[in-house]
Copies of this chain bind each other. A is one copy, B any other.
Amino acid sequence: MKNEAQPFQLTLLGVSGALPARGLFPSAQALTIGNRAYLIDCGEGAQIQMQALGISPLRIHQIFISHLHGDHFYGLIGLLGSMALAGRDKPLDIFGPRALEEIIQVQLKHVGPVPFPLRFQPVDPGKHQLIYENKAIEVYTLPLIHRSPAAGFLFREKPRLRKMRPEMIAAHDIPYQVIPAIKAGADYQAADGSLIPNAALTLDPPLPRSYAYCSDTAFNENLPALVKGVDLLYHEATFCDDREDLAAMTGHSTARQAALIAQRAGVGHLVLGHYSSRYPDFSPFLAEAREVFPRTSLGMDGAVFRVPLNSAQTDPSSPEGELH
């Protein structure tokens, strides 16, 4: 129940590499946190996949584009068009490379404007910094190593207030006005003058959950420090070991390198994607990665990964995404 009320859920809309093959769609993901969805990259056909997978564009208010290779953003203009046709009026933030604005605006000039505010938020792909926050989450950029300047994105829930133990309200006759302060960590001065410590009044809240998206990138030794301990990591694996040379040359990673990042960062669960069309099947990616980091899944179009809402009593180093 808790899990459904406060979902933290990644839906893969497309896991193909640059050249779509075997019916896979190019890079796009929807991260659902609470009642909002965040779109991460928007390859061609993302809106068709969202439709098929039941993710309403109306729940999306922020879109994050990693870089200007077509397989990561060619679906954006079509999604904007469909939002317009659906009568959207709420503003939409688009975080990504500066040139994205020119690309979109030239098309809207000829096709017709959208009836909602489009707010382009240029991102510096070279910096690790906070680029967006709301009441529930913070989003940071993750500098990647690629031929086109690219940034990954780290999504982190903000710490929750402590949970009030309801039986303590009655026991100490606590007026409701002071409860917000207690949830924020305050002790309580009772009517008889005694001080009741916060630890006796509250329970630990669920831990903030986190997700990191790292695509496209060559093996990047700086990444583990930036994504340390995230619950869920998506890391591109365009090639297997047999093409490590090609990976380095094209600014991509092998499945083993993705697993090394996950291992060094001590993440909860690793999801692979962005497979090169040259591979007839993807099971070697999984085998190779699991040799290094067993808690790895093969990302597939339409797959959903949920990070459960754990209490603080759970070991924070071992939450696992559930694969559906």
* A77 proximal to B (CB < 8 A): yes
Write out the residue numbers on chain B whose beta carbons fall within 8 Å of the beta carbon of A85: 18-19
| A290 interfacial contact with B, CB 8 Å | no
Q: Which of B52, B71, B110 contacts A68 (CB 8 A)?
A: B110
User: Which of A42-50, A129-137, A165-173, A179-187 lies at the binding interface?
Assistant: A42-50
Which residues of chain B are within 8 angstroms of A110 by Cβ–Cβ distance? 68, 99, 102-103
Q: Does A294 contact B (CB under 8 A)?
A: no
Number of A residues with CB within 8 Å of any CB on chain B: 33
- A33-51, CB < 8 A from B: 44-45, 47-48, 51
What CA separation (Å) do A1 and B247 show in the bound complex? 46
A110 to B68, CA, bound (A): 7
**6 more A-B contacts (CB under 8 A) besides A23-B48, A23-B51, A99-B110?**
A18-B82, A19-B85, A44-B44, A44-B78, A70-B107, A102-B106
Which residue numbers of A lie inside 8 Å of B, CB to CB?
A: 18-23, 25-26, 44-45, 47-48, 51-52, 68-71, 74-75, 77-78, 81-82, 85-86, 99, 102-103, 106-107, 110-111
Closest 4 CB pairs of A and B: A45-B45, A44-B78, A70-B81, A99-B110
